[in-house]
Structure 1
């Protein structure tokens, strides 16, 4: 797996939406119960129960999405010890009203660890600015959110009985990657290849993103990962395919914004 660090693809307008999305993801993560414990890796049962209740409240649960109904019993966020000495999290009726469709939106801004967050934000930072440059601010935001919704609901259709909360911006960002592959396949991307140490290489985007997609599809089919894996590879694949399909008409019909450097030359 290669790690992208920079693309040689300048933008013609400031990607305010991409910046805002990155900032929002970071701010939300800092307010999550997992922010402090993910650094040390140490957490008590009470902290785990609090996190479980938080994710159940704000995450997108496939069973709820498919049936379009809120949960009847959820973790309360409190730990308890049973008569036999077994410890666990208390379950009870939710003290809040949850909308399954709206939970997809809130889940896009939740992450399970610093590594999860920083990995997603790196991809959004590198590739999101050019998609926003091509689409414009409003259309980029709508496209990003639509990719996240498609990814979440496709994952729910593939796992309709799952009660595990789905969180993360990966599905939405996968849509950005799919669009980038269609619109800028030949753009060079600097990557780090882990081989004994990190080797810097400059590869075309179609190689970097094509390899990423192949790996996600491979993993989503159950190859190379355990059945108990916690990464929603199906959502990645769905978001990427959606991005490709949405970008295909743009490749032929949308003219990129004028390059300000060229405009300056014409004025002289």
Structure 2
């Protein structure tokens, strides 16, 4: 189950969201050729990824920033860019271009701090924009909890797209981070669950001033948790596969 789009159109062109996507993709393309060379890619990540053990030892501080523009593979990049594309434009619409950029970077930096705090002696490099994007999702939850999000459900040979309120999808995602984080071994590697959870709560907290400026609970009462504009309407596309009736 993963989201493919929301029904929350933005009122302005999300230039910063597009720029962040372009930078992440360009940076990945600059080193993807090293992926087949274990020594080269490990050396690259040692220099630019976030390694908690180095930070705890008073080194490797640059990785706190640079790690949020690195990815471990094509699917890692594609998944993060999809989430950023779905949720980023609306937060940028509300915060403005500059405010949103500051917000995004702050979420990325503080989520990296959460990861170091959760695994201070881990030698495993952490890469990915997930922490910053999790912050965007936290802000989205606060502002638009009932915005419709289309999710694609895949179960063996069953494929179905269904719209659900954003709070359900985001709550499930956050719950998965806590479940995964409890059983994860930071010295082995894998998903940086606590960076995700930390980024989510940082983004939610940093969005509170904007939410209060919009009216706080009155904003929710006025919009009923939906976007303050008409939902996007996606027409249903009929399948071209002919139906065969039983005789």
Residues of 2 paired with 1:20 and 1:132: CA distance? 12
Alignment gaps of 5+ in structure 2: 220-227, 230-247
Residues of 2 paired with 1:135 and 1:226: CA distance? 34
Pair 1:202 & 2:163 matched: yes
Alignment gaps of 5+ in structure 1: 70-99, 260-268
Residues of 2 paired with 1:167 and 1:17: CA distance? 21
Residue 227 of structure 1 deviates from its aligned partner by: 7.8
4+ aligned runs moved over 4 Å, structure 1 = none
Residues of 2 paired with 1:206 and 1:185: CA distance? 5
Pair 1:59 & 2:49 matched: yes
Contact 1:65 1:153 in 2 (8 A): no
Residue 252 of structure 1 deviates from its aligned partner by: 2.4
Q: 1:102-121 maps to which residues of 2 (within 5 A)?
A: 102-121=62-81
Change in 2 beyond 3 A, CA 1:214/1:15: same
1:81 alignment counterpart: none
Residues of 2 paired with 1:68 and 1:146: CA distance? 21
Residue 25 of structure 1 deviates from its aligned partner by: 0.4
1:7 alignment counterpart: 6
Residue 27 of structure 1 deviates from its aligned partner by: 0.5
1:87 alignment counterpart: none
Residues of 2 paired with 1:141 and 1:67: CA distance? 30
Between Structure 1 and Structure 2, which shows a larger proportion of strand residues? 1
1:192 alignment counterpart: 152
Whose radius of gyration is greater, 1 or 2? 1
Q: 1:1-268 maps to which residues of 2 (within 5 A)?
A: 2-32=1-31, 35-36=32-33, 43=36, 47-69=37-59, 100-196=60-156, 197-222=158-183, 228-254=188-214
Contact 1:56 1:165 in 2 (8 A): yes
Contact 2:53 2:122 in 1 (8 A): yes
Residues of 2 paired with 1:14 and 1:49: CA distance? 41
CA RMSD of aligned residues (A): 2.3
SS at match of 1:4: strand
Residues of 1 paired with 2:61 and 2:132: CA distance? 15
Residues of 2 paired with 1:191 and 1:226: CA distance? 30
Residue 49 of structure 1 deviates from its aligned partner by: 0.1
Residues of 2 paired with 1:129 and 1:176: CA distance? 10
What whole-Å deviation, never above 9, does each CA across 1:175-207 have from its counterpart, x for those lacking one? 001110111101000110112322110000001
2:245 alignment counterpart: none
What whole-Å deviation, never above 9, does each CA across 1:226-266 have from its counterpart, x for those lacking one? 9845111010000001111112232221379x97xxxxxxx
Contact 1:61 1:164 in 2 (8 A): yes
SS at match of 2:61: helix
SS at match of 2:9: coil
Give the number of equivalent residue pairs: 219
SS at match of 1:245: helix
Q: What TM-score, normalized to structure 2?
A: 0.83
